[in-house]
Structure 1
């Protein structure tokens, strides 16, 4: 990579990495995962931060907005589609802190973590899909 002329990864770059991570999900989850919207924003807004009890937008790299599949009932009438939000500036900040982790791996880890909320995965379920510590 020619760092002399490189710029920081933009929203489209993060989105491409997130889409690749979604496409890499195992077969039982890949189809349903395509039904979840992926949105990339610069930073989480105040409402998003408040929903998770955070104050610093650099603390929040991703957010699942929806009703987990394991908690849904026929009585639930969603008012918006399930959405996974990724926050570019917070992701880049964490990437800089974790110098040894490639950006694609970090984004994939965040995407899997947010899909874990959607699918209602346990830590063991996540570990079968995302071997982050290896």
Structure 2
């Protein structure tokens, strides 16, 4: 029997895991995420890393860019859409280092970034992650 080649999960596979995690969130949260763009990229751009004071691109697994829902106003028209960025290579690196499942890691990072969208505290994010687990 021929051995099947295996490869690191690509951006599409990570996006599928992230979308599945979004579907497991409580409806009260999902209802407010329809306009949030989900992007999976290899690494954060250098400008983003510089702005955050991060030297090693492997240190950033995800990022929310936008304004939390509670800070939005009607004068926000014409702004870029809110985005959740997941960074594939740092996620894979952390996956290997921690030994947790990739699904659990992607869910953890995604929920953290969703939490920023809602302006949640760390305790609230933990409860949300439990609901999405």
* TM-score where L is the length of structure 1: 0.89
Q: Which has the larger share of helix?
A: 2
Q: Is 1:12 aligned to residue 15 of structure 2?
A: no
**1-side partners of 2:105 and 2:123: how far apart?**
19
How large is the RMSD of aligned CA atoms in angstroms? 1.7
* 2:91 equivalent to 1:91: yes
Which blocks of at least 5 consecutive residues in structure 1 are unaligned?
none
Cα deviation code 1:84-111 (max 9, x no counterpart): 0000000000001001x10000000000
CA distance in 1, matches of 2:64, 2:92: 19
Equivalent residues in 2 for 1:72-91, closer than 5 Å: 72-91=72-91
Q: Give the aligned partner of residue 22 of structure 1.
A: 22
**Unaligned 5+ runs, structure 2:** none
User: Which residue in the other structure is 1:105 paired with?
Assistant: 104
Gap change, CA 1:127 and 1:10, over 3 Å in 2: same
- Cα distance in 1 between the residues matched to 2:52 and 2:67: 15
For residues 110-129 of structure 1, the aligned pairs below 5 Å read: 110-129=109-128
